[in-house]
Amino acid sequence: DASRKMTENGVSSRAKVLTIDTMNPTVKKVEYAVRGPIVQRAMELEKELSEGMKKPFAEVIKANIGDAHAMGQQPITFFRQVLALCSYPELLNDSTFPEDAKSRARRILQSCGGNSMGSYSASQGIDSVRHDVARYIKRRDDGVPCDPDNIYLTTGASDGIVTMLKLLVCGEGATRTGIMISIPQYPLYSAALAELGAVQINYYLNEQKCWSLDISELQRSLDEARQHCNPRALCIINPGNPTGQVQSRQCIEDVIRFAAKERLFLMADEVYQDNVYAEGCQFHSFKKVLFEMGPEYSNTVELVSFHSTSKCYMGECGFRGGYMEIINLDSEVKAQLTKLVSVRLCPPVPGQALMDLVVNPPQPGEPSHEKFIKERTTTLCALAEKAKLTEQVLNTVQGISCNPVQGAMYSFPCITIPEKAIKEATDNGQKPDMFYCMKLLEETGICLVPGSGFGQRDGTYHFRMTILPPKDKLKILLTKVKEFHQKFTQQYS
Amino acid sequence: DASRKMTENGVSSRAKVLTIDTMNPTVKKVEYAVRGPIVQRAMELEKELSEGMKKPFAEVIKANIGDAHAMGQQPITFFRQVLALCSYPELLNDSTFPEDAKSRARRILQSCGGNSMGSYSASQGIDSVRHDVARYIKRRDDGVPCDPDNIYLTTGASDGIVTMLKLLVCGEGATRTGIMISIPQYPLYSAALAELGAVQINYYLNEQKCWSLDISELQRSLDEARQHCNPRALCIINPGNPTGQVQSRQCIEDVIRFAAKERLFLMADEVYQDNVYAEGCQFHSFKKVLFEMGPEYSNTVELVSFHSTSKCYMGECGFRGGYMEIINLDSEVKAQLTKLVSVRLCPPVPGQALMDLVVNPPQPGEPSHEKFIKERTTTLCALAEKAKLTEQVLNTVQGISCNPVQGAMYSFPCITIPEKAIKEATDNGQKPDMFYCMKLLEETGICLVPGSGFGQRDGTYHFRMTILPPKDKLKILLTKVKEFHQKFTQQYS
């Protein structure tokens, strides 16, 4: 029987039903560098250190992922007070909690079935939270109207992005859906497209112009893609991940005009909307710019925008909160979207509660307002300072060139890798920047992600590092990267 | 320009990129009755009532979904105390919290990055939680070993089920993956299979024998499916949803033998493992039975078992907590699974914390033990009582026949629908049981789900109702169903 074989100890063993050769081939194609082999090795090193093994470093410093609290950032007190009150409503009788936290908790609980966060919510999200989100967006966008019915709460932004891509994918061969994504990109996009079997269409950001987006490059990329697939959507991350640029208002307008002209569905990943540091830079939402362009655009261009509780000043990744706003989505498709999200029942309710607090924080005059502003400001100022520090120090290193970190939480410097190192890496079947980052990790304990995990122009090499470590650790990290790069360059020259 | 059209007010309007005709066709095929049109109508009615509109009833009673807290079930105090402590660790200084809650919270926080639930966890789930799950399973299964490395924490059980199905699906046409599911089934399965484009293979539970599973029916179903697809997995829900049966140990052994003989991957949905009410019934995990069958089976049969924080005595649906245990999964496939779940970063951390408490509740001698046992017992006894009451009352109605609710949270009675009603429904393009349930809703405010949403033998009709409403409300509900059925039968006879 071909489906049976003998194992070492003589017990007959059936061949597995599910093997690498018989599993879903689209899943095999998925790659996700942010949690890839380099991070697995970092975790092994941490374990080895904790077991007393000797290493050339005392601790592993992880700058691979935008995980603010893990890097020591403190949560906003008010948010956590309300979450505690919602988790254990007995605390509503506790006089040490501020009144505004209590009233916020009461309001959230009243909109939960049985006044419990343990109930399922509506699949689209809690009604009152969606209303608060709509009010937040209207305020943010200087009065552009927002319909709560267009808000869907999500399990982090990733969930919303995958859901929208899922709706868009169809066709086979030359009519297969293509989705335009920036290169460098956040690997959720490439992973989701691989899994959905959609065609990934790359457009390159302009590193020489601070990772800005050129419409001519969009056009080139689209025209080429039209030869072999059906491009239907254009994804933009602003502020940029992994590249840290902040798009100008003009650029956003140009992108919208391009999408309208070329009939592309716009997907705007705006999870870093509060993370803008560089002078002269400002966050402009795609929604606002779209509506300022008049009804010719605002009545027609299909747009979805994503936000999350994971980034900005709150950094609450573990709660998996988020929302998306859909604009001009066909009403029948919207009904299908609502049906689709209902299969997963609802996004986590604590994450929804947190999203509510983010869009409806303490107001002037409320007891928690002052503390909230202070905590938020402290976090955002520290990030701005670290953004600057990172750029400055990296640019002192010969062979490293780093654009300003205008926003988001990452720098994505270009690194010069000597030919000898490229050859050694290639001989080992490794990408040169992976080779570089692995060596950096083994020698210094610093965990960065190679640029190849995000995409980069052929023949260029980068790494992504977060600016999240506390300032003193970030300084050590930057010094170590500098020393490593010098040593590495010398070694392979 | 064909892609432009004029709207009523004369503004030119582009044709939408994404329409019902150009969206993903597999998404269109998805159906999810538990949150389908009947529930939407129930929500409308609630809104109309709240706006003062007159109805033949004063409130809508929702018995359509297993949402315990929404039906008034109280959360376990200890669980919520620990969650509050984890959310706002300042409370660790509060002397009103019991010491065991504090020590549990400290342990959870210590395994979170930066001691915060706001950090991402490992994608497979927090290490210490996976260890606690493994200890729980070993205890539950009388010492059968459990490897924490085989535990994956999930966003509710649904997430785990979809993830495993995703791995299994491949091939085209006659080699397309087929997945065997029970009929009646929980519609997550049919929805996920539709979305993945897998072939749904129905096997029918035996209503005459209390919804038990006959191996001969499995064989029939499999043999027929082999004509047109490649059957690869067999899904079982035990205790049953929507049918409430509890499988005997013998039956589980037979199913495992069948899966081994036919080379099927086993998926055991065991989220109701604490919900067993009927005398003589007992929950047996597939894992335990598998290991008791000896190495011939335990070394070879591929099994995944799912659990959740949403059901049992805790009913914490909103937190979206869950785990799955994989047995005999090919190691390369396991690496692919780990990669796949990493794209979504991690399951919600509050849900992971809750899962930890479920598998590691207060122990004898700890300050919260007595209260925990009392709360758990109260909830489970109330459910057992309501299971009995539901069966008894429904069986007093001529034209309704209800199997004992041995476990889970639902009854799925067979209802006789008069020919005239069937004709009227069919003439209106409605399924007869949808017609019945819609009328019930409009006339009494009671929201049940038609059997057609779960699947049933042709020519039979059912509804699913949860046993979750508080006893006094459940009594009213059952009386109203009884009266409605009598009236309905008379009207259409």
CB < 8 Å to B27, chain A: 166-167, 336, 340
Task: Give the bridge partners for B12, in sequence order.
Answer: B6
pLDDT value of position A65? 87
- What does pLDDT average to over chain B? 94
Interface with chain A: mutation pick from B16, B18, B258, highest number of A CBs within 10 Å: B18
- The reply to whether B279 and B351 lie within a common domain is yes
Q: What CA–CA distance (Å, rounded) separates B351 from A78?
A: 21
State the amino acid at position B292 in one-letter form. E
φ, ψ (nearest 5 deg) of residue B57 = -150, 160
| Cβ contact B156–A80 (<8 Å) | no
**DSSP codes joined into one string, A406-472:** -BTTEE--EE---HHHHHHHHHTT--HHHHHHHHHHHHH-EE-EEGGGT---TT--BEEEES-S-HH
| Residue A6 confidence (pLDDT) above 70 | no
CB contact under 8 A, A192 and B18: no
- How far is the alpha carbon of A8 from chain B, nearest alpha carbon, in Å? 12
Burial class (CB in 10 A: 0-12, 13-18, 19+), A125: buried
Residue B393 clears pLDDT 60, i.e. is over it: yes
pLDDT in tens, A167-206: 999 999 999 999 999 999 999 999 999 999 999 999 999 9
The residue of chain A nearest to residue B298, with distances taken between CA atoms, is A13
Check B346 against A318: CB less than 8 A apart: yes
Residue B12 DSSP symbol: E
**How confident is the model at residue A13, as a pLDDT?**
57
CA separation (Å) from A300 to A400, B15, B398? 44, 8, 57
Above 80 in pLDDT, residue A2?
no
Which chain B residue's Cα is nearest to A234?
A: B17
Look at residue B56 and tell me whether its pLDDT is greater than 60.
yes
Q: Which of B278, B428, B351 is nearest to B125 (CA)?
A: B351
Contacts of A374 (CB under 8 A, 6+ apart): none
The pLDDT of residue B131 is: 97
Residue B91: pLDDT over 70: yes
The answer to whether residues A390 and A419 belong to one domain is yes
Q: Calculate mean pLDDT across residues A427-442.
A: 95
Does residue B284 share a domain with residue B193?
A: yes
Domains contained in chain B, number:
2
* Cβ distance of B24 and A168 shorter than 8 Å: yes
CATH number for the domain harbouring residue B395: 3.90.1150.10
> Do B415 and B339 sit in the same domain of this protein?
no
Q: How many CA atoms lie within 13 A of A140 on its CB side?
A: 22
Q: Distance (Å) from the C-alpha of residue B357 to the closest C-alpha of chain A? A: 14
Q: What share of chain B is helix, strand, coil (3-state, %, to 5)?
A: 50, 15, 40
Contact A158 B328 (CB under 8 A): no
Q: Are B65 and B468 in contact (CB under 8 A)?
A: no
Instruction: Give the nearest partner residue to B3 out of A71, A87, A263, using CB atoms.
Output: A263
- Nearest CB to B318 within list A32, A69, A349: A349
Please tell me whether the peptide bond between B75 and the residue prior to it is cis, using omega within 30 degrees of 0: no
pLDDT at A11 over 70: no
3-state SS record for B420-452: HHHHHHHHCCCCHHHHHHHHHHHHHCEECEEHH
Q: Give a yes or no: residue A16 inside a domain.
A: no
Tell me, yes or no, whether B286 lies in a domain. yes
What's the rounded Cα separation, in Å, for the pair A430 and A37? 12
Please indicate, yes or no, whether residues B143 and B258 belong to a single structural domain of this protein.
yes
Q: Are residues A355 and A213 part of one domain?
A: yes
Using CA of residue A353, residue A354, residue A355, residue A359, what is the dihedral sign?
positive
Q: Do A331 and A448 sit in the same domain of this protein?
A: no
The C-alpha of B168 sits at a distance from chain A's nearest C-alpha, in angstroms, of 5
In a domain, A87, yes or no: no
CB contact under 8 A, A155 and B264: no
Q: Check whether residue A353 and residue A384 sit in a common domain.
A: no
Asked, for residue A14, whether it belongs to a domain, the answer is: no
Q: Identify whether B151 is part of a domain.
A: yes
Q: Worst-scoring range by mean pLDDT, A13-27, A124-138, B5-19, B162-176?
A: B5-19
**Cβ distance B36 to B43 under 8 Å?**
no
In a domain, A450, yes or no: yes
Using a pLDDT cut of 90, give the percent of chain B over it.
Answer: 90
Q: Which residue of B has its CA nearest to A319?
A: B348
Q: Is the pLDDT of residue A100 over 90?
A: yes
Q: Which residues of A touch B346 (CB under 8 A)?
A: 317-318, 320
Task: DSSP letter for B51, please.
Answer: T
Q: How confident is the model over B329-335, as a mean pLDDT?
A: 94
Q: Are residues A291 and A182 in the same domain?
A: yes
**Domain membership of residue B263 as a residue range:** 120-359
Mutate to test the interface with B, among A8, A78, A119 (most CBs of B within 10 A): A119
Q: Which helix (H) or strand (E) holds A23?
A: none
Instruction: Let me know if residue B375 belongs to a domain.
Output: no
Residues B341, B455: one domain? Answer: no
Secondary structure in 3-state letters for B217-251: HHHHHHHHHCCCCEEEEEEEECCCCCCCCCCCHHH
- C-alpha A210: how far from its chain's center? 20
Q: What is the pLDDT of residue A9?
A: 46
Tell me the sheet residues that pair with A182: A203
What does R_g of chain A's alpha carbons equal in angstroms? 24
Mean pLDDT of chain A: 94
B32 with B185: CB under 8 angstroms? no
If residue B385 lies in a helix (H) or strand (E), which one and from where to where?
Answer: helix B369-395
Q: In chain A, what percentage of residues exceed pLDDT 70?
A: 97
The band of A372, judged by pLDDT with boundaries at 50, 70 and 90, is very high
Cα(A70)–Cα(A73) distance, integer angstroms: 7
Give pLDDT, residue A10.
45
Residue B84 domain-assigned? Answer: no
What are A226-271's pLDDT values in tens digits? 999 999 999 999 999 999 999 999 999 999 999 999 999 999 999 9
The amino acid occupying position A11 is: V
Which pLDDT band, with edges at 50, 70 and 90, does A32 fall under? confident
In 3D space, the residue among A128, A168, A169, A167 whose CA is nearest the CA of residue A151 turns out to be: A128
B327-351 b/e (C-beta count within 10 Å ≥ 16 → b): bbbbeebbebbbbbbbbbbbbbbbb
The answer to whether A309 and A354 are in contact (CB under 8 A) is: yes
Same domain? A201 vs A250: yes
Smallest CA-to-CA distance from B372 within B356, B360, B386, B389 is with B360
Q: Categorize the per-residue pLDDT at A37 as very low, low, confident or very high, splitting at 50, 70 and 90.
A: confident
Q: What pLDDT, in 10s, does the model give residues B191-203?
A: 999 999 999 999 9
More confident residue, A39 or B5: A39
Same domain, A221 and A320: yes
Burial A61-90 (b: 16+ CB within 10 A, else e): bbbbbbbbbbbebebbbbbbbbbbbbbbbe
Rounded (10°) CA dihedral A231, A340, A147, B16? 30
Give the integer Cα–Cα distance in Å for B404 and B6. Answer: 61
> Taking the C-alpha atoms of B43, B48, B54 and B55 in order, what is their torsion angle to the nearest 10 degrees?
-10
pLDDT band at A343 (very low <50, low <70, confident <90, very high): confident
Task: Supply A57's token pair.
Answer: 């470093």
> What is the b/e burial string over A328-367, where b = at least 16 CB atoms within 10 angstroms of the residue's CB?
bbbeebbebbbbbbbbbbbbbbbbbbbbbbbbbbbeeebe
Q: What is the CA radius of gyration of chain B?
A: 24
Q: Give the CATH number for residue B276.
A: 3.40.640.10
Query: Tokens in use for A140?
Result: 């943010």
